[in-house]
Amino acid sequence: MQAYGELICNIAEQVASKWELQQVFSMRESTQEISLKVILQAVFGLYEGERYSRLERLLGSLMESLNSPSKSSMLFFQFLQIDLGAWSPWGKFIKQREEIYELLLA
């Protein structure tokens, strides 16, 4: 647990170092970035490389796509889960989920 605590502190410091004095920033985006990096490193054991970058991008995009009640409602209402390809919200979600799953299996 101590190692995880140190990892989380290091990641939080890394993210916070990007903040500029006297400038407004999004705390949600910062905490989301910290959470994502902790998951990738502590849970999946990834620290750098192509797979890390792809997962970071895909998971970030997936989380961003579900950040509002209207967008995330498709997870709860089956009638919204219609795959019309990459242009439909559900189709995009399914494609991202499959890409993430394949990267995690690798």
For residue range 53-80, list pLDDT tens digits in order. 999 999 888 888 777 777 777 778 888 7
Mean pLDDT (whole number) for 27-33 = 90
Q: What is the C-alpha separation between 61 and 64, in angstroms, rounded?
A: 5
Structural domain boundaries in the chain = 1-47, 48-106
Structure tokens at 38: 């902790």
Of the pLDDT bands very low, low, confident and very high (cuts 50, 70, 90), residue 82 is confident
Of the pLDDT bands very low, low, confident and very high (cuts 50, 70, 90), residue 105 is confident
Task: Give me the amino acid identity at 105.
Answer: L
Q: Is pLDDT above 80 for 44? A: yes
- pTM (global) more than 0.95: no
Q: Which single residue is written with the structure tokens 């409602």? A: 73
Residue pair 15/37 in contact (Cβ under 8 Å)? The answer is yes
Instruction: State the pLDDT at residue 5.
Output: 92
